[in-house]
Copies of this chain bind each other. A is one copy, B any other.
Amino acid sequence: MPHSSSTALFNLGEFGLISRIAAGVRTHESVITGIGDDAAVTALSAGMQLLTSTDMLLEDIHFRLAWHDPYRLGRKSLAVSISDIAAMGGIPRWALLSLAIPSDLPLDFVDDFMRGFLAMASENRVVLIGGDTCSSRAGLIISVTIMGEQLPDRIVRRSGALPDDDIWVTGTLGDAALGLKLVELEVGGVVKSPPFQGEGQGGDGVDFLINRLLDPNPRVAAALTLAETKLVTAMIDVSDGVLADYGHIAEQSGVGGCIFLEDIPLSGDFRRHTAGLPAVPYQLALSGGEDYELCFTSHRSNRKKIIDCMKKCGIEVTRIGIVASLPGVTVVKPDGSKYCVQVEGFNHFT
C-alpha cells in the first residue's frame, strides 16, 4: 500500500492526535477516568479478579502494510489481545494502545486504523482507556494491553487438563495460515510460484481465507459460555498452531496428548484450495498459527453439554484428541501410525 506523503499527522502533534483518538471512544460506567490523566482509573466488578495481557505487533514482523489495510489492522491489533482474555474465560473490559508512527504514514491511515480498533472494541464492549503515541524511525509499532475480569472460580488456566479429558477446538484450523500463503502470492511476496489450486485471486473462498488472517474474530462468547459451565479443565487460544498451543496446556498440566489427524476441523474453502497437495493441509492446520480459535479440555462425560452450549453460541466445536497421562503430544493417523509434523508454530528468535 503506497503511503501518500502527508504532513497532516505532524501538524496535528502528539496531543492533537491523542484528542482525535479520544474523541472516537465510547466509554462505560466501569471507567472512572479514561484517556488524559497520568493513569486511567477503572473499577472492577464485585468479587472479580483482574486479567491482564499485552501484545506487541511490529511492521514487517507481525504484519505487512502491503497486505494489511489499516481498518483490519486496527481490528486485529485488539482482537489478538481480546483472544487472550477469552482464553482465560474472562470478560474483556479495558484496553491501552501505544502507537509509534513513521513520519510518512498519512493521517488517513491512522484514522482508519483507529476506526477498526474502536469497532473491535465496541463489538466486545471494551473501552480504550489510555496509551502512548510517539514517532517511529523504524516502521509502525503497535502495543496493546488488554484488561478483563472474571470471578475466581470461572477463570480457566492452561494448567488444569487431566488424563483422559477430551481435547476440543472451536471453528476450523489452518485458514489463516493458508490465507497468509495466498496474500504472499497476491502481492508477489515470499511464495513466488503458486503451489495451490484454485483461482488464486478474489472469489472462490480466497476472500474467506485471507479474511481469516487479516480479521480474526476472538471467541469471546464461546469462551465465556464455557467458563460459566465450569466444564472446562484447561483452555488456550490457538495463536501459534494447535500443536504448539495444546503443547503449552500439556506442559503446564503435566500431561501429554494424542491428537487424531482426521478429526482436525478444516473449512470447505481450506480443503478446496489444498486439494491435490496431501502433505500441506495438515501441516498448516496443526502448525500454521493465527487461528485465534479456542483449544480446551473437558472430562469425557461432558461431551453432549459442550456440543449443546457451543451450538447455542453458534460456534462449531470439534473433539480432536485425548489428554494422555505421559508427557509428549503425538498426532495419530487413521491407521494408528504416528504423523510427523514438519512445520513448527511461530517462535521468535529461532
Q: Is the CB of A56 within 8 A of B98?
A: yes
CA distance in complex: A249, B140 (Å): 31
Kindly state whether residue A263 has any CB partner on chain B within 8 Å. Answer: no
- CB-CB under 8 A from A348, the residues of chain B are 13-14, 133-135
* Given A98-B54, A145-B96, A42 contacting B49 (CB threshold 8 A): yes
Q: Is the CB of B52 within 8 A of A129?
A: yes
CA distance in complex: A143, B133 (Å): 11
Kindly state whether residue A217 has any CB partner on chain B within 8 Å. Answer: no
**A45-63 interface with B by 8 A CB criterion:** 49-56, 58, 60-62
- CB-CB under 8 A from A36, the residues of chain B are 158, 252
- A17, A130, A252 pick with most chain B CB within 10 angstroms: A130
- CB-CB under 8 A from A9, the residues of chain B are 349
Q: Is the CB of A56 within 8 A of B13?
A: no
- CB-CB under 8 A from A40, the residues of chain B are 51-53
CA distance in complex: A41, B136 (Å): 32
- CB-CB under 8 A from A49, the residues of chain B are 32, 41-43
Which of B101, B132, B155 interacts with A54 by CB under 8 Å? B132
**A126-146 interface with B by 8 A CB criterion:** 129-139, 141, 143, 145-146
- CB-CB under 8 A from A152, the residues of chain B are 32
Interface hit among A84-92, A172-180, A322-330: A84-92
- CB-CB under 8 A from A131, the residues of chain B are 54
CB distance from A331 to the nearest CB of B (A): 20
CA distance in complex: A197, B133 (Å): 36
**A218-253 interface with B by 8 A CB criterion:** 235-237, 252
CA distance in complex: A226, B62 (Å): 44
Which of B33, B60, B88 interacts with A137 by CB under 8 Å? B60
Kindly state whether residue A109 has any CB partner on chain B within 8 Å. Answer: no
- CB-CB under 8 A from A88, the residues of chain B are 37-39, 41
CA distance in complex: A348, B16 (Å): 10
- CB-CB under 8 A from A148, the residues of chain B are 39
- CB-CB under 8 A from A237, the residues of chain B are 38
Interface code A266-301, partner B: CB below 8 Å = 1, 0 otherwise? 000000000000000000000000000000000000
Kindly state whether residue A157 has any CB partner on chain B within 8 Å. Answer: yes
Nearest-CB residue, chain B, relative to A33: B157
Q: Is the CB of A143 within 8 A of B38?
A: no
Q: Is the CB of B39 within 8 A of A134?
A: no
Kindly state whether residue A100 has any CB partner on chain B within 8 Å. Answer: yes
Q: Is the CB of B43 within 8 A of A50?
A: yes
Q: Is the CB of A349 within 8 A of B17?
A: yes
CA distance in complex: A256, B237 (Å): 50
CB distance from A236 to the nearest CB of B (A): 6
16 more CB-based (< 8 A) A-B contacts, given A38-B87, A41-B50, A58-B134: A36-B252, A37-B157, A38-B84, A38-B158, A41-B88, A42-B50, A52-B130, A54-B143, A54-B145, A56-B100, A56-B132, A61-B136, A98-B143, A100-B141, A143-B143, A145-B145
